[in-house]
């Protein structure tokens, strides 16, 4: 693997490295001060004088398959439960081919926005889609992006008092057997892992307590992480109380998930005591600002969660409630909604921290999300050449305040995956045409 000096960047989201970054063997080897040269010869030099360098962004919640139903006429202008009821029958038509093209498009969008590591919460398994996890791993490897593949699940259908229709759920034994299979086949451990597996029953209103408990035990057995939706809406609060006789967080503790293996999507409607419990147990929360605004679900208590000790990350959420797969846009949305929630003391650096270090913590990783010696060389480089940036004084603040949405260069493990704004080895026009054709069958 070639060594590289990313020389004299316009700005870097790290301290005292105006001379650049040296990458060797897929890791950050040196951070150089002004005028400092690499300690030993490098194979290549990249002039970054036009570029603002960020750690690669880390997306901690998504639903790739939903790229096929963006702005769907049956689902727009609805809150969560009504939105789900409208779309579950549509999503039941998902096939292996449409799953593959949806995954490829979502991963490509994410990469182009500066994401170097992503997770995806796939819980929908209509007939003939048993290999959904295999498809996602194959596509992530082709694109060269890191991924936490969450083996999601639903087994509580309408006939049992749940929300999803019978056609998209599986039975518990089938789910657990495939969880074991996917972990054994794909889960990588240790620094630099490209593919990791997490177990992710969908939500309190679509899975049984038995499945939640079994997945928790399985995650402990195989040392992998746990993920689910929780405390997204008041409707969910009422469902948990009527179905299980307890609040969402009490339910989480009851099934053995209140621990630092777990990160939650949304985490909006928590009380003061809930927030303290989450922090005490190290449970992470993925803040999904765009989706929360789109579905009018509420505002995540990011500041209190971090103060309590809970990791806070950032996610784009599904592309039918966003409706994009652009985490750099999500950073700006996070800044804006949190200023509305709190005040102007919430900064662009807070939002960038959630999308990098905070998200890495949610995924249980300490090797990504930061520009520091020894970390993985996962980087997102942005230029300020567009009209939207003209006149900007602080380059890093400008990325967020002026609305950056597309990286010029993206590196994963020391390898360029986006060059001049375009992903390497992906025909964007062909991808757009194939995905658009696939989406027509969901209208």
In this prediction the pTM is: 0.98
> Distance between CA atoms of 295 and 81, rounded to whole angstroms?
10
User: What's the number of CA atoms in the CB half-sphere (13 Å) around residue 422?
Assistant: 8
Q: Is 376 helix (H, G, I), strand (E, B) or coil?
A: strand
Torsion sign over Cα 64, 68, 73, 74? negative
Q: What is the mean pLDDT of residues 46-75?
A: 97
As annotated, the residues of the chain forming the CATH 3.20.20.140 domain(s) are 57-362
- Cβ contact 172:214 at 8 Å: yes
Q: Which two tokens stand for residue 435?
A: 């995905």
> Distance between CA atoms of 156 and 419, rounded to whole angstroms?
45
Instruction: Say what the pLDDT of residue 269 is.
Output: 95
Region at 374 (left for phi over 0; alpha for psi -120 to 50; beta for the rest)? left
The Cα angle at residue 441 between residues 105 and 84, in degrees rounded to 5: 80
pLDDT digits 0-9 by tens, 27-60:
999 999 999 999 999 999 999 999 999 999 999 9
Neighbours of 91 (CB within 10 A): 22
> Distance between CA atoms of 353 and 110, rounded to whole angstroms?
18
- Cβ contact 379:116 at 8 Å: yes
DSSP string, 162-200: -SS-GGG---HHHHHHHHHHHHHHH---STT-SEEEEEE
> Distance between CA atoms of 4 and 21, rounded to whole angstroms?
8
Q: What is the mean pLDDT of residues 181-192?
A: 97
pLDDT digits 0-9 by tens, 187-244:
999 999 999 999 999 999 899 999 999 999 999 999 999 999 999 999 888 989 998 9
pLDDT digits 0-9 by tens, 241-265:
998 999 999 999 999 999 999 999 9
Q: Which CATH number fits domain 4-55+378-423: 2.30.40.10, 1.10.357.10, 3.20.20.70, 3.90.550.10?
A: 2.30.40.10
As annotated, the residues of the chain forming the CATH 2.30.40.10 domain(s) are 4-55+378-423
Q: Which two tokens stand for residue 295?
A: 């579905």
Domain covering 57-362 in this structure, CATH number: 3.20.20.140
Instruction: Say what the pLDDT of residue 2 is.
Output: 87
Determine which of 95-104, 106-115, 158-167, 407-416 has the lowest per-residue pLDDT on average: 158-167
Instruction: Say what the pLDDT of residue 211 is.
Output: 97
């Amino acid at each position: 693997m070639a060594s590289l000096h990313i020389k004299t960047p316009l700005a870097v989201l790290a301290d005292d490295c105006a001379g650049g970054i040296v990458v060797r063997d897929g890791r950050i080897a040196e951070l150089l001060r002004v005028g400092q040269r690499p300690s030993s010869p490098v194979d290549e030099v990249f002039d970054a004088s036009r570029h603002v360098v960020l750690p690669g962004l880390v997306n901690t919640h998504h639903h790739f398959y939903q790229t096929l139903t963006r702005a769907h006429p049956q689902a727009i202008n609805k809150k969560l439960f009504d939105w789900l009821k409208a779309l579950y029958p549509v999503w039941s038509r998902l096939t292996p081919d449409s799953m593959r093209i949806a995954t490829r498009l979502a991963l490509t969008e994410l990469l182009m926005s500066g994401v170097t590591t992503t997770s995806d919460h796939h819980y929908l398994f209509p007939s003939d889609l048993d290999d959904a996890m295999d498809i996602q791993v194959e596509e992530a490897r082709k694109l060269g992006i890191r991924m936490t593949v969450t083996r999601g699940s639903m087994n509580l259908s309408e006939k049992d008092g749940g929300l999803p229709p019978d056609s998209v759920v599986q039975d518990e034994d089938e789910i657990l057997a495939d969880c074991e299979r996917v972990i054994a086949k794909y889960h990588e451990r240790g620094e630099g892992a490209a593919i990791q597996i997490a177990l992710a029953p969908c939500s309190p209103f679509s899975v049984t307590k038995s499945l939640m408990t079994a997945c928790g035990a399985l995650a402990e057995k195989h040392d992998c992480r746990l993920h689910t939706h929780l405390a997204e809406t008041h409707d969910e609060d009422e469902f948990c109380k009527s179905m299980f006789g307890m609040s969402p967080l009490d339910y989480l503790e009851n099934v053995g998930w209140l621990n630092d293996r777990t990160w939650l999507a949304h985490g909006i409607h928590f009380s003061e005591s809930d927030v303290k419990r989450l922090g005490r147990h190290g449970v992470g929360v993925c803040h999904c600002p765009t989706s929360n605004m789109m579905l009018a679900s509420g505002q995540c208590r990011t500041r209190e969660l971090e103060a309590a000790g809970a990791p806070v990350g950032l996610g784009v959420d599904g592309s039918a409630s966003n409706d994009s797969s652009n985490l750099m846009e999500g950073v700006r949305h996070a800044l804006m909604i949190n200023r509305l929630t709190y005040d102007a003391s919430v900064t662009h650096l807070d939002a960038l921290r959630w999308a990098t270090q905070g998200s890495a913590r949610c995924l249980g990783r300490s090797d990504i999300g930061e520009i520091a010696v020894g970390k993985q060389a996962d980087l997102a480089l942005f230029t300020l050449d567009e009209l939207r940036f003209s006149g900007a004084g602080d380059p890093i603040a400008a990325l967020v305040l002026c609305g950056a949405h597309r990286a010029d260069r993206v590196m994963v493990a020391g390898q360029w995956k986006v060059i001049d704004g375009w992903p390497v080895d992906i025909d964007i026009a062909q991808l757009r045409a194939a995905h658009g054709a696939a989406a027509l069958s969901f209208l």
